[in-house]
Amino acid sequence: MWLGMGQADAIAILGGTGDQGLGLALRFAKAGRTVVIGSRKTERAVAAAEEVRAAVPGADVEGLGNEDATGRAEIVILSVPFEHTASTVKGIREVLGEGQILVSMAVPLATAIGDGAVRTLGIWQGSAAEMVQALAPKGVTVVSAFQNVSAHRLRELSNAVDCDVVVSGAKAARERVMALCGLIPGLRGVDGGPLSNARVVEDLTALLIGLNVRHKVPEGLGIRFSGLPDRD
Amino acid sequence: MWLGMGQADAIAILGGTGDQGLGLALRFAKAGRTVVIGSRKTERAVAAAEEVRAAVPGADVEGLGNEDATGRAEIVILSVPFEHTASTVKGIREVLGEGQILVSMAVPLATAIGDGAVRTLGIWQGSAAEMVQALAPKGVTVVSAFQNVSAHRLRELSNAVDCDVVVSGAKAARERVMALCGLIPGLRGVDGGPLSNARVVEDLTALLIGLNVRHKVPEGLGIRFSGLPDRD
């Protein structure tokens, strides 16, 4: 078990200044969890934390540099653009410790090389999440989640998000992340099995982006599995 | 436009003796469409047609060999196991004519090489549907659809299927196939853009199979997109 310095129930979100990361920060803060926003530039993280406090009165949220934020929570969500994923993981390697859970939201959209968002790049390790696992220190468990949750829907705090989240990775860790999904109204964590299934989930984001464009849904579609037994 | 020998509104289903193909045959027959079931063995197609007539009184359905069935309909659905997809297309090449629409339901599950159904094989052309397009004669349009529809749900005629179908391929042809989806209660055709998006949709089947196992849903999960404007 991780015995870090932060609150036991804190959630760190690296890249929490971006659209989707900030959306998660708002939702977790609203659910009463301690949130630590990380950014490459501390002042941007501080500003994002202020934004969360303005939207969610009484929010327990702090803004820090990525390294400091990583040391504060057992669960660390990586919400940086794909092209900064590898460098971000390399930058926090020294801070990451045994028992921490690193959540990859990365999607290798071809925008990283100047091509379109409706296509993905092939990743040597199989998926961005598996690349993150290859870069993470031993003892850190990588879980894949949240790729397909619309930032727009996350940030509309008065609405339920209406989306299933496929969570994949080692069993105990993915169950922790599935529980996080349950903190957000309209979000449901779905047991996605081993981390390698991130290959499908990441590609799905590119398909959803295309559907959003073709069907003119600026707020972004969600994905739902029908026929799933609810386990409340 | 295709000027074949069959009924204008006929739908041919090659491999219509299999679970999923027979499910589609039942549903299209119930919707009042002319259905032609194709099989490598004519007697099996005849038996499947009888099964449809028994379940759907008054069904307009016939069983034929694959080549004969292909000549009878403008829209030909390929519902053979993945490992027979290429050989089936090669076997009907001479019969396929200008203007026909060939619907690929193929999913390159690793079961084709003795590995598991929760993984897919990499296909040189990008996807099984694109492989089919590469093998089809000029003038024939390939559309990708129906990969993620549970056979079990299709065959329970008293229930709505509750699933979205991502339809990809050239615009005019995919709109024809989206309209077919609308014939089946609880099925919705979703505009999936170019054929290359079949890469994501095919892989999604492997993910769904894993979800069915992990969540113990023998009747099979469906997929739904939330936030899609309905266009009835």
pLDDT at B119 over 60: yes
Cα separation of B166 and B143, whole Å? 10
Q: List per-residue pLDDT tens for chain A, 232 residues long.
A: 455 666 678 999 999 999 999 999 999 999 999 999 999 999 999 999 999 999 999 999 999 999 999 999 999 999 999 999 999 999 999 999 999 999 999 999 999 988 999 999 999 999 999 999 999 999 999 999 999 999 999 999 999 999 999 999 999 999 999 999 999 999 999 999 999 999 999 999 999 999 999 999 989 999 999 999 875 4
Q: What is the pLDDT of residue A232?
A: 42
How far A218 CA lies from chain B's nearest CA (Å)?
10
A216: left (phi over 0), alpha (psi -120 to 50) or beta: left
pLDDT at B207 over 80: yes
A149 CB neighbours in chain B (<8 A) are: none
State whether B191 and A206 contact (CB < 8 Å): no
The predicted structure's pLDDT at residue B229 = 84
Please give the model's pTM, rounded to 2 decimal places.
Answer: 0.90
| DSSP states of A2-59 | ---SS-TT-EEEETTTSHHHHHHHHHHHHTT--EEEEESSHHHHHHHHHHHHHHSTT-
Contact A224 B227 (CB under 8 A): no
The pLDDT value recorded for residue A139 is 96
Residue type, A163: C
Q: Summarize pLDDT for B49-98 with one digit per residue, the tens.
A: 999 999 999 999 999 999 999 999 999 999 999 999 999 999 999 999 99
Query: Are A227 and B217 a contacting pair at CB < 8 A?
Result: yes
Mean pLDDT of B145-150: 97
Hey, is the C-beta of A206 within 8 angstroms of any chain B C-beta?
A: yes
Which of A162, A207, A228 is closest, CB to CB, to B197?
A207
Shortest Cα distance, chain A CAs vs residue B106, angstroms:
17
Tens of pLDDT along B148-167? 999 999 999 999 999 999 99
Report the gap between the CA of B96 and the closest CA in chain A (Å): 30
Whether B222 and A217 lie within 8 Å, measured CB to CB: no
Contact A221 B201 (CB under 8 A): no
The pLDDT score that the predictor gives to residue B6 is: 65
Whether residue B190 contacts residue B180, with contact meaning beta carbons closer than 8 Å, is answered with: no
- Where b means 16+ CB within 10 Å and e means fewer, B123-153 reads bebbbbbbbbbebbeeebbbbbbbbbbbbbb
Contact A211 B201 (CB under 8 A): no
Question: Alpha carbon of B13 to those of A140, B8, B22, B93, B96: distances in Å?
Answer: 50, 15, 8, 16, 14
Using CB atoms, pick whichever of B119, B153, B225 lies closest to residue A211: B225
B192 CB neighbours in chain A (<8 A) are: 207, 210-211
Q: How far is A121 from chain B (nearest CA, A)?
A: 13
pLDDT at B232 over 50: no
**Would you state the pLDDT for residue B1?**
46
Asked if B222 has any chain A CB less than 8 Å from its own CB, the reply is yes
Q: How far is CA B65 from CA A232, B68, B88, in A?
A: 50, 5, 11
Give the minimum alpha-carbon distance from B62 to chain A in angstroms, rounded to a whole number.
33
Contact B190 A199 (CB under 8 A): no
Measured between beta carbons, the chain B residues lying within 8 angstroms of A229 are 215-217
What is d(CA A148, CA A130) in angstroms, rounded to the nearest whole number?
Answer: 17
Report the alpha-carbon distance of residue A175 to residue B55 in Å, rounded.
44
Question: Which pLDDT band holds residue B7 (cuts at 50, 70, 90)?
Answer: low
Of A204, A217, A219, the CB nearest to B200: A204
Q: Does A217 touch chain B (CB under 8 A)?
A: yes
> Which chain A positions have a beta carbon within 8 Å of B218's beta carbon?
none
Mean pLDDT of chain B: 94
Residue A114 in tokens: 């100047």
